[in-house]
């Protein structure tokens, strides 16, 4: 592994772990909001927004419940994010060569960056989808489930394929998320650095833009993915026959707005997560590169 690839791996492992711990309570609220349905009128709605959801979870289940699924979440983010970051630049080089090369001034186009980020993310999440299934099942349960119990539950109900429940919407969502996060961050950073310098302000500005873009494009597929994963290993959950069926049933029974359930916590988490991750990643990568030079 080259020194640069090693610094990307080191930076992404640490930064993704820290960002995940900081933002996991928002993710727990997002998942709870997405799995509740609104077919039975206002009385069937348990949570009325992100802050109401966080408050009720803390009141009825205790503060530790806000970090439900922390172990699989950390495993997922560290493995997936590291894989995505290590793959991004080689994939970007491949995409540039495959699409006629760089611009006349030698720069990479925004479209090429988007495709590169999306492909790197899609490859990574295909490998690590099982971690997301475990995390989702733990977060949606009001009980304190151990990882082993969830693994056993999913395997008994659906076999090995149960760990790849929701793989299609997850790949679709991850392509969009990674394109928006990595591609937009790379593009925004390229535009900001000449004006602000390669410093904290440029990294923070670029990461904020990437977080908002990521939330806007990914929420509908995130809702579908969460519903499909939540159904894994549960006999009483609403069953969906794939992505298209889930989209139709959610839209028909709950309306278009249901596809953007949890948007506020998604956007809040994305901005905080991206800001924490990219700022820390850039600093750690710089430190690792300096050490490798000596």
pLDDT in tens, 126-179: 998 988 888 878 777 767 677 788 888 889 888 888 888 888 888 988 898 899
Task: Tell me how far apart the alpha carbons of residues 187 and 148 are, in angstroms, rounded to a whole number.
Answer: 42
Q: Is pLDDT above 50 for 275?
A: yes
d(CA 223, CA 16): 22
Q: What is the pLDDT of residue 40?
A: 47
Q: How many CA within 13 A on the CB side of residue 22?
A: 17
- Which pLDDT score, from 0 to 100, does residue 293 have? 65
Which pLDDT value is given to residue 104?
A: 79
Task: Report the C-alpha gap between 58 and 46 in whole angstroms.
Answer: 14
pLDDT greater than 50 at residue 43: no
* pLDDT for the residue 1: 55
Print burial letters for 267-280: b (CB count within 10 Å at least 16), e (below 16). bbbbbbbbbbbbbb
Q: CA neighbours within 13 Å on the CB side: how many for 192?
A: 19
* Between 151 and 43, the higher pLDDT residue: 151
Q: What is the mean pLDDT of the chain?
A: 85
- What percentage of the chain reaches a pLDDT higher than 70? 92
The domain 3-293 having CATH identifier 1.50.40.10: the answer here is yes
Q: CA 26 to CA 180: how far, in whole Å?
A: 20
CA 195, CA 197: separation in Å to the nearest integer?
6
Question: Mean pLDDT across the stretch 284-291?
Answer: 80
- Given a cut of 80, whether residue 121 has pLDDT beyond it is yes
pLDDT of residue 70: 86
Helix (H) or strand (E) holding 95, with range, is: helix 70-98
Distance CA 262, CA 206 (A): 23
Residue 19 is predicted with a pLDDT of 93
pLDDT beyond 90 at 120: yes
pLDDT for the residue numbered 235 = 60
- Region 273-292: mean pLDDT is 86
Work out the percent of the chain whose per-residue pLDDT is above 90. 37
Is residue 236 scored above 60 in pLDDT?
A: no
CA distance 280 to 54: 26
Distance from C-alpha of 242 to C-alpha of 230, rounded to nearest angstrom: 13
Q: Which sequence spans correspond to the domains of the chain?
A: 3-293
List, as own/partner pairs, every contact residues 209-213 make where C-beta atoms lie below 8 angstroms and the sequence separation is at least 24, other chains included.
209/184, 209/185, 210/180, 210/181, 210/182, 210/184, 210/185, 210/274, 210/278, 211/181, 211/267, 211/270, 211/271, 211/272, 211/273, 211/274, 211/275, 212/267, 212/270, 212/271, 213/180, 213/181, 213/184
Instruction: Kindly report, residue by residue over 70-110, the tens digit of the pLDDT.
Output: 888 888 888 888 899 889 989 999 999 998 888 878 889 99
pLDDT at 33: 82
Of 292 and 81, the structure prediction assigns the larger pLDDT to: 81
Mean pLDDT across the stretch 212-239?
A: 79
């Amino acid at each position: 592994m080259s020194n640069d690839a090693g610094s990307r791996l080191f930076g992404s492992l640490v930064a993704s772990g820290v960002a995940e711990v900081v933002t996991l309570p928002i993710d727990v609220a997002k998942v709870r909001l997405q799995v509740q349905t609104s077919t039975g009128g206002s009385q069937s709605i348990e949570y009325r927004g992100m802050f109401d959801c966080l408050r009720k979870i803390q009141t009825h289940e205790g503060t530790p419940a806000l970090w439900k699924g922390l172990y699989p979440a950390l495993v997922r983010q560290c493995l997936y994010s590291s894989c995505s970051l290590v793959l991004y630049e080689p994939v970007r080089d491949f995409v540039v060569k495959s699409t006629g090369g760089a611009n006349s001034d030698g720069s990479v186009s925004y479209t090429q960056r988007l495709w590169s980020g999306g492909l790197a993310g899609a490859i990574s999440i295909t490998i690590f989808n099982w971690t997301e299934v475990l995390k989702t099942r733990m977060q949606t349960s009001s009980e304190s489930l151990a990882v082993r119990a969830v693994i056993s539950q999913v395997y008994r109900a659906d076999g090995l394929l149960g760990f790849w429940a929701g793989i299609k919407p997850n790949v679709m969502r991850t392509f969009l998320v990674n394109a928006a996060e990595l591609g937009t961050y790379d593009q925004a950073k390229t535009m900001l650095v000449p004006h602000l310098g390669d410093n904290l302000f440029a990294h923070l500005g670029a990461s904020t833009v990437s977080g908002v873009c990521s939330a806007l494009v990914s929420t509908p597929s995130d809702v579908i993915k969460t519903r499909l994963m939540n159904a894994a290993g549960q006999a009483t959950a609403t069953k969906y026959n794939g992505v298209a069926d889930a989209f139709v049933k959610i839209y028909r029974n709950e309306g278009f707005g249901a596809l953007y359930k949890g948007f506020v916590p998604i956007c809040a988490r994305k901005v905080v997560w991206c800001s924490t991750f990219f700022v820390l990643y850039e600093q750690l990568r710089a430190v690792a590169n300096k050490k490798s030079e000596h």
